[in-house]
């Protein structure tokens, strides 16, 4: 009987080991099946965009497409470093004056550019019969909304929504640092080689100033930018002057320095007297909203509050 009991015991143990082994195989098979299914699903998503030939006409939009893992056939020419995935992709020229012949040769299904250039470029796109979408990047909120739209259009809804949710959370965390008791008046000068204009509260940097707790010196205009009239600007009595250089930043900064040194009226500005004139770095403070908005906002909060 004792021998039979031992045989029965070993039989049960053997059976359990076999069951565990079979169970382990099943789990492995399930994992393999899930991995294959996941790969197939990823291929389906890529296939859904296989016929798309998209051109991103601005640097900011190129970064959005990289975040959403979307291929491009054309990118803007830029001194800034484009995402690595687009190395070797055809350049279409300056966002403000893209090469229409190059774009035609790429046979795009969509050209993504910005609303601030719509009045300048829409007719040109119509002439070459090229579809174009003008994205509203005048504020951080509108930028995030456009990223969601791109995600929905190009089968990246989940990725876009996650990215936007994370971005909004970070933005809220930074805005929580703002001292509500300090609301200095801020004048925004937007310079390009040879001239400059004034950014209102409806411009991208104007939006950042508002988020940072500042008040735009220009509050009576509906446009994003207005022409610069120094007499009018002096009457606004800004506490802070922000100078944003675009196009050729170093050249524009020299232009601003010369203007402030030679035009006597600037000496009478409160911000100049109190040495509260700041040059903004272009990669963070573009003409339109971009993914560097988080760093830009933190910098503005420090300028407006910490150094006030």
> pLDDT for 91-139, tens place per residue?
999 998 999 999 999 999 999 999 999 999 999 999 999 999 999 999 9
* 256 within domain boundaries: yes
Q: Do 146 and 213 sit in the same domain of this protein?
A: no
* 220 within domain boundaries: yes
Q: Do 203 and 165 sit in the same domain of this protein?
A: no
Q: Do 142 and 193 sit in the same domain of this protein?
A: no
For residues 246 and 232, which has the higher predicted lDDT (pLDDT)? 232
Alpha-carbon distance of 33 to 66, in angstroms, equals: 29
- Burial class from Cβ neighbours inside 10 Å (0-12, 13-18, 19+) for residue 61 reads buried
Which of 174, 207, 232 corresponds to the end of one domain?
A: 174
13: left (phi over 0), alpha (psi -120 to 50) or beta: alpha
pLDDT at 260: 95
Give me the mean pLDDT over the 11-19 stretch.
40
Alpha-carbon distance of 28 to 225, in angstroms, equals: 62
Q: Do 184 and 302 sit in the same domain of this protein?
A: yes
Alpha-carbon distance of 162 to 167, in angstroms, equals: 9
Q: Do 183 and 160 sit in the same domain of this protein?
A: no
Which of 174, 196, 223 corresponds to the end of one domain?
A: 174
Tokens, residue 78? 């830029």
pLDDT at 46: 58
pLDDT digits (tens, 9 = 90+) for 273-305: 999 999 998 888 988 999 999 999 999 999 998
Q: Is the dihedral of CA 41, 64, 224, 113 positive or negative?
A: negative
pTM for this prediction: 0.81
Q: Do 62 and 165 sit in the same domain of this protein?
A: yes
pLDDT at 197: 93
For residues 32 and 53, which has the higher predicted lDDT (pLDDT)? 53
Nearest to 110 by CA among 48, 49, 42: 49
pLDDT at 193: 85
Q: Do 209 and 128 sit in the same domain of this protein?
A: no
Q: Do 203 and 266 sit in the same domain of this protein?
A: yes
* 211 within domain boundaries: yes
Give the domain extent around 160.
54-174
* 118 within domain boundaries: yes
* 11 within domain boundaries: no
pLDDT at 306: 58
Q: Looking at 159-273, which runs of residues are DSSP E strands? A: 185-192, 195-199, 215-216, 225-227, 240-245
User: What mean pLDDT is reported for the chain?
Assistant: 86
Nearest to 58 by CA among 80, 33, 26, 39: 80
For residues 91 and 23, which has the higher predicted lDDT (pLDDT)? 91
Q: Do 164 and 214 sit in the same domain of this protein?
A: no
* 99 within domain boundaries: yes
Q: Please report which confidence band the pLDDT of residue 67 belongs to, taking 50, 70 and 90 as the band edges.
A: very high
Q: Do 62 and 159 sit in the same domain of this protein?
A: yes
Give me the mean pLDDT over the 201-210 stretch.
95
Number of domains in the chain: 2
Tokens, residue 5? 């009991």
Which of 146, 174, 202 corresponds to the end of one domain?
A: 174
DSSP annotation of 89:
P
pLDDT at 250: 86
* 128 within domain boundaries: yes
Question: What CATH number does the domain containing 153 carry?
Answer: 3.40.50.1980
CA distances from 156 to 42, 161, 224, 278, 306 (A): 11, 9, 31, 39, 40
Long-range contacts of the stretch 159-162 (C-beta < 8 A, 24+): 159/67, 159/68, 159/69, 160/68
The percent of residues in the chain predicted with pLDDT above 90, rounded, is 70
* 110 within domain boundaries: yes
Q: Do 183 and 302 sit in the same domain of this protein?
A: yes
Q: Do 153 and 191 sit in the same domain of this protein?
A: no
């Amino acid at each position: 009987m004792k021998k039979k009991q031992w045989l029965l015991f070993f039989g049960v143990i053997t059976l359990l080991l076999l069951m565990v082994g079979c169970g382990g195989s099943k789990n492995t098979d399930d994992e393999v099946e899930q991995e294959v299914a996941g790969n197939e699903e990823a291929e389906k998503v890529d296939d859904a965009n296989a016929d798309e030939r998209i051109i991103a006409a601005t640097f900011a939009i190129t970064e959005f497409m990289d975040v959403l893992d979307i291929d491009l056939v054309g990118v803007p020419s830029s001194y800034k470093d484009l995402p690595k995935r687009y190395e070797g992709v055809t350049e279409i020229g300056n966002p403000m004056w893209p090469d229409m012949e190059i774009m035609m040769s790429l046979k795009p299904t969509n050209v993504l550019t910005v609303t601030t250039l719509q009045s300048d470029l829409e007719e040109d796109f119509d002439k070459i019969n090229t579809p174009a979408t003008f994205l509203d990047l005048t504020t951080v909120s509108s930028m995030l909304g456009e990223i969601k739209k791109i995600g929905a259009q190009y089968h990246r809804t989940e990725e876009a929504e996650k990215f936007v949710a994370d971005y909004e959370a970070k933005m809220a965390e930074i805005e929580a640092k703002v001292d509500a008791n300090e609301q200095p008046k801020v004048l925004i000068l937007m310079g390009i080689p040879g001239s400059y204009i004034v950014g209102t509260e409806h411009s991208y940097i104007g939006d950042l100033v508002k988020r940072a707790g500042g008040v735009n010196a220009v509050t009576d205009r509906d446009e994003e930018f207005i022409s610069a009239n120094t007499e009018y600007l002096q009457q606004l009595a800004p506490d802070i002057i922000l100078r944003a250089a675009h196009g050729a930043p170093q050249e524009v900064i020299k232009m601003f320095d010369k203007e402030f040194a030679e035009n006597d009226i600037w000496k009478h500005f409160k911000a100049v007297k109190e040495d509260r004139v700041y040059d903004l770095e272009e990669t963070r403070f573009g003409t339109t909203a971009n993914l560097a908005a988080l760093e830009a906002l933190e910098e503005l909060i420090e300028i407006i509050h910490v150094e006030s």
